[in-house]
Structure formats: structure tokens, C-alpha cells
Amino acid sequence: MSENCLFCRIISGDIPSDKVYEDEYVCAFRDINPQAPVHVLVVPKAHIASAADVSAENSLYVARCFEAIAKIAAAEGLGNGYRVITNCGEDGGQSVMHLHFHLIGGVKLSEKII
């Protein structure tokens, strides 16, 4: 974990957040600037900088993030669907350099990038 990383500090409890889920590998909390009625950030409890840094050594954290996403989506009532996004690097619009998955839903999402 990194002392200079916002999400490492949220995971450790150093910076407060509205946590919705936590286990050994994953921490999930509500985005401070929500883009939909449900906007949760699902974050591995290891300092992986971005999707570009996923490897055989740390990919269990990513798998656990997706297991958590399924549970959180069900708990948040997103049975009708949702979107999972990860921004990667400067051109991808990533602003916090600790891998995270945006879980967005609670409304019919109309913006389609792909």
C-alpha cells in the first residue's frame, strides 16, 4: 500500500468514505461525485496502478473485484443491469492511479462509448 495514494488511504481508513462492501481483497465505496443513482468504486486492496499493471501475480485481486461487483450490484438492486468501467492511463481519463472499477447503475444508461 502507498501512503501517497488516495485510494490506499481510503482503504486504510485514513481518509473517510461511504463504504458499501469490504473483504480480504476488495474495498468498495460510493464515488464522491456520482454520475448515476448508484456509483460505487470497487478497488483492490493492493496498490495496482491501473489495468495496465495487472499480472499473473496480482490478478486474483481483479477476480475478487468482479466477484464483489456481482454481490454489490445485487445488494444495490441493480437486477436490471449496470455498467462497469475502468479508465486506464492519461488517454483513458484515469485520475486516481490505483486500479478501480466504476459500478454505475440505478437508471437506464443511454451514453454508449462502445
Report the alpha-carbon distance of residue 95 to residue 83 in Å, rounded: 19
Which of ligand 5GP, Zn ion, none does residue 33 bind to, with CB < 5 to 8 Å depending on kind?
ligand 5GP
Smallest Cα–Cα separation from 7: which of 49, 70, 51, 64?
49
Q: Which stretch binds Zn ion (CB under 5 A): 7-15, 51-59, 71-79, 80-88?
A: 7-15
- Point out the residue whose Cβ comes nearest to Zn ion: 5
Which of ligand 5GP, Zn ion, none does residue 28 bind to, with CB < 5 to 8 Å depending on kind?
none
Considering only residues 8 to 67 of the shown chain, the ones binding Zn ion according to CB under 5 A are: 8, 47
Task: Give Cα separations from 7 to 48, 81, 109 (angstroms).
Answer: 11, 26, 26
